[in-house]
Structure 1
Amino acid sequence: MRDLTIGLDCGTGGARALVTDAAGRVLAMAVRDYPTAHPHPGWATQSPADWWGAACGAVRAALAQGGIAPGRVAAICATGTSSTMVALDTGLQPLGDAILWMDCRASPQARRIEATGHPALRRSRAGVSAETALPKILWVKDTAPALYDRSRWFVEMADYLALRLSGELTLGQNQTINRWFYDPRTGWPEDFLAAMGLGGITARFPARMPAVGEVIGPLQPEAAAALGLDPETRVVAGGTDAYVAMVGLNTLRPGETALITGTSHLVLPVVAEDAEVEGLFGPHPDCVTKGVFVMEGGQVSSGALLRWWHDLLHQGQDCYDVLLAAAQTVPPGACGLVVLDFWQGNRNPFTDYDLQGAIWGLTLKHGQAEITRALMESVALGTANILDRLTGKGMAVSSMTLAGGVLRSRFWAQMHADATNTVLRIPEVSEATAFGAAIAAAVGAGLHPSLETAADAMVRIRDEIHPDPASHAQFRAQLDVYLQTHAALKPLMHRMAALTQAAAASAA
């Protein structure tokens, strides 16, 4: 009996495989890590071979952990980090390492794309993100023409995983809508692509563009053997990790908002109308489910910021509990410390990848605990800054369904509720991206008729966190200083970015 599905989530830090039944009961989950390289300031790369090795290890470990017979698995669905770009040759092999989503080397190309002023940019009023695939492809064309000439196909991480699973070359419709300016209602904006310097580039995009939950085909035999699965297992299309997490949170209808936390943060409200919000991306039509639009506001460095600080202090050890316990002893405001959470630039609402992180207000009184709290507060303030743009457009968010790393700390989750003045809904399954992929796989397997009905049947809310009015007032005061700090430091940060970019170019 084929009654189980697997969600495979390849995130920034590693691969997570989750096995569930059609009722949403999680039977097993396993994780395998892989490294990230930072060859220059602002750069970040990963090896596709590392992704596949970790994916196979995670799936095999999950099957063993749950004592699950391969024949019970009806389908597998893979998701990957957004805008992690892979160049493939004519033999469908990667041409070197992938350019990771957080890599912001293509900032000059993003500005050139924005300068076209094309009408397609209405879905990117905040500015063109240097994280996304098109600026990265343009960067390859500008700076590595030999590599560009050898590149037959450009895809994202989720597409590469689908290729390894099924042997089929696809370009997920979800990623192209939310990152590549594709509109499922009108097609590719060919004149826009030409205006940015990528005329004819769609010939290097796979023609097959499956939607989330659509069957791609069966596992290819080599993949089945590597994963420990039956070759008749269906491969189902996933998409951008955070958007697939919306399925795992059941935030698929207008009025619902997902807050996805991890290495980065994403705020994803679903709206019924085609409405623009300055500083946010979207509205993205039919991006996850048909007939609705998704808005997007994101922070590049959120969990990554805390991990950076933790690893500096505790290399080779897991001391997060100690770090967070110390931060809880510090009063709100971190004794006057102010942090800008721009370690890899700002995605929203400033969309400025020439910004850098900052800490000021330091005195000899301050220690690790104060800095930890200030870093955590800065991430919550960044989320509040995004929501303020929605409120300013009359689209106030009263509640968000939360997923990801922030759930591991009730203390940090409460900060987010207080800073944003919203109720946080806590799902039973916290690993929303892998769970969402498993739900999409259940649709592809025929265990549920649609993403909406599958999520209704499989997702449950277990708790809520409510904002504290006094803490919210404190955060509003801090937000004013946060915004003033950004305005004051922006010119200096841009000057420093120009210097580091020139140094990287001369070293390349």
Structure 2
Amino acid sequence: MTTTLLVAVDVGTTSARAGVLTPQGDLLGRAEHLIDMHRPDANHAEHNSEQIWSAVCGAVREAMSIAGAQPEQVAGLGFDATCSLVVRDRDGRPLTVSTTGEDRWDTIVWLDHRALGQADECNRTGHHVLQYAGGVMSPEMEVPKLMWLKRNLPDSWARAGMMFDLADFLSWKATGSLARSQSTLTCKWTYLAHQAPAWQADFLETVGLADLLDKAALPATATPIGDFVGSLTPSAAADLGLTTACRVGAGLIDAHAGALGVLGAFTHDVATIDRHLALIAGTSSCVMALSAEDRPTPGVWGPYFGAVLPGVWLNEGGQSATGALLDHLIRLHSAGGEPTTQMHRDIARRIMELREHEGLALANRLHVLPDFHGNRSPLGDPFALGVISGLTLDSDFDSLCRLYWRTCVSIALGVRHILETLNTRGYAIDTLHVTGGHTKNAVLMELYADATGCTVVESAAKDATLLGMAMVAATAAGLYASLDAACVAMQQGGRSRAPDLSARPQYERDYAIFLEMLRHRQIIDTMV
């Protein structure tokens, strides 16, 4: 076994995952520990950051054991996480973000939509920061949530002394450093990394957050991804089962780490990187497009400078509920129940059986708009609602399979809608690099190729997101001269699937109907 190893940590919506990797990008051990979510209201979702830290530590220790690794072998560590908001007092103790008043619920989860009104208020300012947020502020970004917190929980705001994106919280917990990643600040806090000064004081004052930099202990300058932020403190090293010689790098938002893992290999050819789209697909889906110049795209977040790779611009689209939508439909249908992995497999297998007889025309009068949790891209409408057209009285398992199939079609068409929007802004996307939970869903993986007309590449990495964070860890540890060099050296390649050209006529019809349904929904909404 190599004498030098790297630890990567990826904190998602429901679990913390850790991996032990070599400097060549090989995954030696992986472990996952669950985390709780508190839902006191339909639009509220909260985490306990201390529980998240405990889950991270448990996952790291277990991954080290599986890998047969020793603490002194680990040279670098990197954290990614969802763009959830952690609030602490001046002494670093948890502060409640919950209407229940419990301090243990100190983290607003990324998918929380309590700040819809505040997001709309940001949009009405017309400030130029919106040009670097897709033209529309999402309630999933931090500024609207901070506005909500200040107005609705003034005691928490008064006592606050530190506020973090979750990835930066984990770096602080590990090292004591208040450094903040360029990924998190640029994408979620209206920090304009390409300008000086990067913080737009007039915007913060307009939305009532003139005291934000002081209350959140925010730095004047963000730290580039992969830069060294500190070594593990003795207490963190003890918690994680590592040593104080372990160096920590500035991390990323979780989906961005996945993009780094699958697109980092193209960093040596930025001129053609805009042909490639990263699709990080799980509970929700994120699409990441990189380019050498800024390409503002309405309804698509960004352009963000240096948010994944140094000197490269990022546009980020997404679908707020994809895997979560399929789970929801299984729970909703009378033939469904608990959306276990086996249930998804059983449905996929039955879909393939039904298609042997009906082909791609299976349930082709059933149509879905998948915006059950709003449309993040390219419409940028958090108030958008899902639509199902073509239901009958059927309630057996096959009717569930038909609905599941057509919902999968709609999810893939939603990706096509995003990439076609990007292509109008100068991209030439013809290749999708897919990672995340959807790679285990044969129905979706087929549709991502056939319904978009793109070549689909499934990363050969066992976990592309952990690979991205290992690239960060290797850079911080000094194993490579730069993040670019780490990406090229550690990339794992992938398996390609070309689109089935015989399926094109069916999906062209489906896409035309998809666009027409969007138009009809807009008309109905204006009538309401």
Moved more, 146-155 or 110-119: 146-155
Tell me if 1:260 matches 2:280: yes
Identify unmatched segments of 5+ residues in structure 2. 97-104
Question: In 1, Cα distance between the equivalents of 2:466 and 2:386?
Answer: 30
Question: In 2, Cα distance between the equivalents of 1:148 and 1:477?
Answer: 52
Question: In 2, Cα distance between the equivalents of 1:80 and 1:327?
Answer: 34
Which residue in the other structure is 1:14 paired with?
15
Question: In 2, Cα distance between the equivalents of 1:427 and 1:64?
Answer: 25
Tell me if 1:390 matches 2:422: yes
Tell me if 1:146 matches 2:175: no
- Give the C-alpha shift of residue 310 in structure 1: 4.2
- Give the C-alpha shift of residue 425 in structure 1: 1.6
- Give the C-alpha shift of residue 265 in structure 1: 1.1
| Superposition pairs of residues 12-161 of structure 1, within 5 angstroms | 12-82=13-83, 84-96=84-96, 97=105, 98-161=107-170
Deviations 1:416-445 (CA, angstroms, capped at 9, x unpaired): 111211111222114221111111101111
- Give the C-alpha shift of residue 271 in structure 1: 0.9
- Give the C-alpha shift of residue 277 in structure 1: 1.8
Amino acid of the structure 1 residue aligned with 2:7: I
Question: In 2, Cα distance between the equivalents of 1:132 and 1:111?
Answer: 12
- Give the C-alpha shift of residue 375 in structure 1: 2.1
Question: In 2, Cα distance between the equivalents of 1:493 and 1:79?
Answer: 38
Question: What TM-score, normalized to structure 1?
Answer: 0.92
Deviations 1:473-492 (CA, angstroms, capped at 9, x unpaired): 32232223223323333476
Contact preservation (8 Å) 2:182, 2:306: no
Contact preservation (8 Å) 1:337, 1:359: yes
RMSD: 2.1
- Give the C-alpha shift of residue 311 in structure 1: 5.2
Contact preservation (8 Å) 2:295, 2:426: no
| Superposition pairs of residues 301-450 of structure 1, within 5 angstroms | 301-310=321-330, 313-315=336-338, 317-319=340-342, 320-328=344-352, 329-330=354-355, 331-332=359-360, 334-335=362-363, 336-365=365-394, 367-450=399-482
Contact preservation (8 Å) 2:224, 2:306: no
Amino acid of the structure 1 residue aligned with 2:312: V
Question: In 2, Cα distance between the equivalents of 1:494 and 1:65?
Answer: 57
Contact preservation (8 Å) 1:287, 1:294: yes
**DSSP-derived class of the 1:332 partner:** helix
Q: Alignment partner for residue 227 of structure 2, among 214, 219, 236?
A: 214
Tell me if 1:196 matches 2:207: yes
Question: In 1, Cα distance between the equivalents of 2:113 and 2:501?
Answer: 37
Contact preservation (8 Å) 1:250, 1:452: no
- Give the C-alpha shift of residue 317 in structure 1: 4.6
Tell me if 1:227 matches 2:232: no
The structure-2 alpha-carbon separation of the partners of 1:151 and 1:332, relative to structure 1 and needing over 3 Å to count, comes to: farther
Deviations 1:281-325 (CA, angstroms, capped at 9, x unpaired): 222112222222111111111122123334563438542211221
Deviations 1:6-57 (CA, angstroms, capped at 9, x unpaired): 1100011201111111111111111111122332223222221221121111
Quote the sequence identity (%): 31
- Give the C-alpha shift of residue 494 in structure 1: 8.9
Amino acid of the structure 1 residue aligned with 2:205: A
**DSSP-derived class of the 1:181 partner:** coil
Tell me if 1:176 matches 2:185: yes
Amino acid of the structure 1 residue aligned with 2:210: G
**DSSP-derived class of the 2:126 partner:** coil
Q: Alignment partner for residue 281 of structure 1, among 301, 309, 318?
A: 301
Contact preservation (8 Å) 1:85, 1:99: yes
The structure-2 alpha-carbon separation of the partners of 1:310 and 1:432, relative to structure 1 and needing over 3 Å to count, comes to: farther
Aligned residues: 495
Amino acid of the structure 1 residue aligned with 2:47: Q
Question: In 2, Cα distance between the equivalents of 1:495 and 1:16?
Answer: 46
- Give the C-alpha shift of residue 168 in structure 1: 2.1
Amino acid of the structure 1 residue aligned with 2:346: V
Which residue in the other structure is 2:99 paired with?
none
Amino acid of the structure 1 residue aligned with 2:78: C
Moved more, 302-311 or 231-240: 302-311
Contact preservation (8 Å) 1:427, 1:459: no
The structure-2 alpha-carbon separation of the partners of 1:390 and 1:28, relative to structure 1 and needing over 3 Å to count, comes to: same
Amino acid of the structure 2 residue aligned with 1:357: G
Question: What TM-score, normalized to structure 2?
Answer: 0.89
| Superposition pairs of residues 443-458 of structure 1, within 5 angstroms | 443-458=475-490
Amino acid of the structure 2 residue aligned with 1:61: E
Question: In 2, Cα distance between the equivalents of 1:143 and 1:371?
Answer: 40
Deviations 1:140-185 (CA, angstroms, capped at 9, x unpaired): 1222222222222221111111122112223222111122221223
Contact preservation (8 Å) 1:344, 1:357: yes
Question: In 1, Cα distance between the equivalents of 2:317 and 2:476?
Answer: 29
Question: In 2, Cα distance between the equivalents of 1:29 and 1:403?
Answer: 16
**DSSP-derived class of the 1:420 partner:** coil
Question: In 1, Cα distance between the equivalents of 2:523 and 2:155?
Answer: 35
